[in-house]
Copies of this chain bind each other. A is one copy, B any other.
Amino acid sequence: MQLKKQFGRRVQQLRLAKKITQEELAEHVGVSIESISNIERGIHGPSFDNLEKIILALNVPAKMLFDFDEE
């Protein structure tokens, strides 16, 4: 429950750093914009396959998405 929210905030931070919209990220990942919205708000986490796609779309090392200290 805690982790989803922390992860969601991290996705949003890295997405904004890339200056792309939720819709653009959704297209790159291959999911709906609502799914990205839900992930960023911590409603639910991504599947492991989509986690990998998010990492590729944001072009960051995996551990950066779980590095909550350097927010």
Give me the interface of A with B, judged by CB distance under 8 Å. Answer: 1-4, 6-7, 44-49, 51-52, 55, 61-69
Residues on B with beta carbons closer than 8 Å to the beta carbon of A63: 63-64, 66-68
Residues on B with beta carbons closer than 8 Å to the beta carbon of A49: 1, 45
Q: Which chain B residue has the least Cβ–Cβ distance from A47?
A: B45
Are A4 and B48 neighbours in the complex by a CB distance under 8 Å? yes
Residues on B with beta carbons closer than 8 Å to the beta carbon of A6: 62
Q: Which chain B residue has the least Cβ–Cβ distance from A62?
A: B66
5 new A-B contacts, CB < 8 A, other than A6-B62, A62-B66, A63-B63, are: A1-B49, A3-B48, A4-B48, A61-B66, A63-B67
